[in-house]
Amino acid sequence: MPFDPKKFITQSVEQIRKAIGKEQAITAVSGGVDSFVAATLAARAVPGQLHVIYVDTGLMRKNETDEVRKTAKALGVELKVIDARKRFFDGLKGAGDPEGKRKIIGELFIRIFEEEAKKSRAAFLIQGTIAPDWIESGGLGRDTIKSHHNVGGLPEKMDLRLCEPLRELYKHEVRMVGKELGLPESIHQRQPFPGPGLAVRIVGEVTEEKAKIVQDACFVVENEIDAAVKAGKMERPWQYFAALLPSKTVGVRGDERAYQYTVIVRAVRSLDGMTANFSHIPSDVLEKISTRITNEIRSVGRVAYDITNKPPGTIEME
């Protein structure tokens, strides 16, 4: 039977209401479709008991904090923005291992949620976890591919009870629910963004400098691919972004030797993120992306296009 978003919404609102009872709950939006859908369902289920927050980790998309503020305002959601940039950069100092980074981020999110929950006397955390998140985090006896920050990245001890209304859904189903809920297309059709943010697009240790590089590079990739899609040159990939390698290579700028970073451009076709094929981007679009990245980001001297499918690769680098 095909997935029925209307029916799902009715059932889910009822289930959330039952789970939360008379307690207060907090939920965090990240700007992505999953968290906005979960927050909207929760707002329908327990209005007046819900506290919506947005954590600025410093590892979000360019201009994301302003965008989230605007969307929340348009949806009539009262939003509390928490500036946690220093906390995340300090916490990630010296951490190079992908799973270690994910655990640090998961833990920091929960500690911040707990602090906010205390202020609003909330007993529940409503999260937009979807099926691939827990499947890839080793759910139901599967191997852990990566600990999604909202599942395997959670600390063992936490003071909040979880409520995860989208747990059984895949991304395309979440999009259908978002559309049915009346969310703007810019949200329900938005490309996925990983919970740990740009940290999984920076291979190795995260620094503020690297976060800025990858943020600017992602912006260029999104810009150019959006323009190419609009011009009818290619179909919209499922996900498209840039990542940063930790090593530098030699190049030239003007007449001088330069020693600069390498950016990887990634674009994939997928239905649910569980498997993916790299997108065939027209060469003129790739060239424009490369030229813009090396011109606009002076510390990047090389751009490569990732032609790996999943498997054996994953969509994100870490």
- According to the binding rule CB under 6 A, does residue 148 interact with ligand XMP? yes
Task: Please pick, from the candidates 5, 58, 165, 192, the single residue that binds ligand XMP as defined by CB under 6 A.
Answer: 192
Part in contact with ligand XMP (CB under 6 A); list of ranges 205-213, 224-232, 248-256, 307-315: 307-315
Residue 318 C-beta: closest distance to ligand XMP, Å: 8
Residue pointed to by tokens 């740009």 = 198
- For residue 296, report the phi and psi dihedrals to the nearest 5 degrees: -85, -25
Q: Kindly report the three-state secondary structure assignment for every residue of the chain.
A: CCCCHHHHHHHHHHHHHHHHCCCEEEEECCCCHHHHHHHHHHHHHCCCCEEEEEEECCCCCCCHHHHHHHHHHHHCCCEEEEECHHHHHHHHCCCCCHHHHHHHHHHHHHHHHHHHHHHHCEEEEECCCCHHHHHHCCHHHCCCCCCCCCCCCCCCCCCCEEECCCCCCCHHHHHHHHHHCCCCHHHHCCCCCCCCHHHHHECCCCCHHHHHHHHHHHHHHHHHHHHHHHCCCCCCCCEEEEEEEEEEEEEEECCEEEEEEEEEEEEEECCCCCCEEECCCCHHHHHHHHHHHHHHCCCEEEEEECCCCECCCCCCCC
Part in contact with ligand XMP (CB under 6 A); list of ranges 77-85, 175-183, 191-199, 279-287: 191-199
What is the distance in angstroms between the CA of the first residue and the CA of the last residue of the chain? 35
Part in contact with ligand XMP (CB under 6 A); list of ranges 87-95, 110-118, 187-195, 211-219: 187-195
Task: Please pick, from the candidates 15, 299, 308, 314, the single residue that binds ligand XMP as defined by CB under 6 A.
Answer: 314
CB 136 within 8 A of CB 146: yes
Task: Please pick, from the candidates 51, 61, 103, 149, the single residue that binds ligand XMP as defined by CB under 6 A.
Answer: 149
Task: Please pick, from the candidates 51, 62, 146, 210, the single residue that binds ligand XMP as defined by CB under 6 A.
Answer: 146
Pairwise CA distance, residues 3 & 163, whole Å: 21
Closest to ligand XMP by CB, 199 vs 285, is 199
Part in contact with ligand XMP (CB under 6 A); list of ranges 21-29, 40-48, 195-203, 257-265: 195-203
Task: Please pick, from the candidates 64, 116, 173, 316, the single residue that binds ligand XMP as defined by CB under 6 A.
Answer: 316
Pairwise CA distance, residues 81 & 73, whole Å: 12
Closest to ligand XMP by CB, 100 vs 282, is 100
- According to the binding rule CB under 6 A, does residue 61 interact with ligand XMP? no
Residues within window 79-138 making contact with ligand XMP, judged by CB under 6 A: 132-133, 136
- According to the binding rule CB under 6 A, does residue 239 interact with ligand XMP? yes
Part in contact with ligand XMP (CB under 6 A); list of ranges 142-150, 177-185, 213-221, 294-302: 142-150
Task: Please pick, from the candidates 194, 197, 237, 301, the single residue that binds ligand XMP as defined by CB under 6 A.
Answer: 194
Task: Please pick, from the candidates 196, 197, 237, 301, the single residue that binds ligand XMP as defined by CB under 6 A.
Answer: 196
Closest to ligand XMP by CB, 239 vs 290, is 239
Closest to ligand XMP by CB, 24 vs 309, is 309
Part in contact with ligand XMP (CB under 6 A); list of ranges 13-21, 88-96, 116-124, 141-149: 141-149
Closest to ligand XMP by CB, 53 vs 294, is 53
Which residues contact ligand XMP by CB under 6 A?
132-133, 136, 145-146, 148-150, 192, 194-196, 200, 239, 273, 310, 314-316
